[in-house]
Structure 1
Amino acid sequence: MHRFKDLGIWKLSRQFCSQIYVTTANFPDNEKFGLTNQLRRASVSVPSNIAEGCSRSSNKDFSRFLEIAIGSIYEIETQLLIAFDLGFIDQLKLDELIHDLETIVKMISKFRSTLQV
């Protein structure tokens, strides 16, 4: 078992989640149950799956939860691109958030490769 609070991937994904909340606070009110909700839920899913995976008794199970976290990251990227297309975020913010997502994916992938499954 791993201590999720000690993992850099958990810390970074938690910070990213906060960025998503701040960013979506500026979305139109009529998106409250649309993209705002979807982005927030998917961003919460990333650190949550990392934490839940840490509780598993095998590295194989933990690796599966890390895989789910990566899936949520790709979901977030798609939703951010749609938000950009709709004019809810500008190019600079989009680039910043996608860069952060790519960093998290690389960290998770590297960490997964160290697990003995």
Structure 2
Amino acid sequence: MEREAGYIKRAKDLDVYRHAYGVSLDVHKATLVFPKNNTRWLTKCGDPARRSVPIWLKDLPNRPIPGPICAFISMAMGSCSEVETWISYAFDLGYITHAQRDEWLQSYVHIYGMLVNLRKKLK
């Protein structure tokens, strides 16, 4: 992680960003093939799942440490929890397999933990 005068220079250099980006890309690709007739699903689940954690983390550069940056990390943690709920919906509706659900949930639990640790380090 690059820091310059109390700022994170590049969010994409954070391990948590790279991990979250990869998982959210997988989720995004999967939601593209969900049934088109279920527009409520696409609005309620597909969009939040697609824009989840990396969206909050991309805003970290040029944020003072620790102040506002911890708020962005907290928002990313909330996004993790939201996506976990939508992953469960996707499984219960038969859109993803049991294995896919377990893999994604495990990934988001890991991302959440990484965010908790990052926030602790920055406080």
TMscore range, shorter length: 0.7 to 0.9
SS in 1 for 2:37: helix
- Same amino acid, percent of matched pairs: 28
Whichever residue aligns with residue 90 of structure 1, its letter is: T
Give unpaired runs (5+ residues) of structure 1: none
1:56-86 deviation digits (Å, cap 9, x = unpaired): 1231210110110010111111011111111
Whichever residue aligns with residue 39 of structure 1, its letter is: G
Q: Are 1:81 and 2:88 matched, yes or no?
A: yes
Q: How does 1:5-44 map to 2 (within 5 A)?
A: 5-31=12-38, 33-37=39-43, 38-44=45-51
User: C-alpha displacement at 1:4, in angstroms?
Assistant: 0.6
Q: Aligned pair in 2 of structure 1 residues 42, 24: CA closer, same or farther (>3 Å)?
A: closer
SS in 2 for 1:30: coil
User: C-alpha displacement at 1:48, in angstroms?
Assistant: 1.6
Whichever residue aligns with residue 119 of structure 2, its letter is: R
User: C-alpha displacement at 1:7, in angstroms?
Assistant: 0.4
- 1:14·1:47 contact (CA, 8 Å) conserved in 2? yes
SS in 1 for 2:89: helix
Whichever residue aligns with residue 40 of structure 2, its letter is: G
Segments ≥4 residues shifted beyond 6 Å: none
Of the structure 1 ranges 55-64 and 102-111, higher mean CA displacement relative to structure 2 is found in 55-64
RMSD: 1.6
TM-score by length of structure 2 reads 0.84
- 2:52·2:83 contact (CA, 8 Å) conserved in 1? no
Q: How far apart in 2 are the matches of 1:26 and 1:63?
A: 35
Please name the residue that 2:3 is paired with: none
Q: Which has the higher helix share?
A: 1
SS in 2 for 1:29: coil
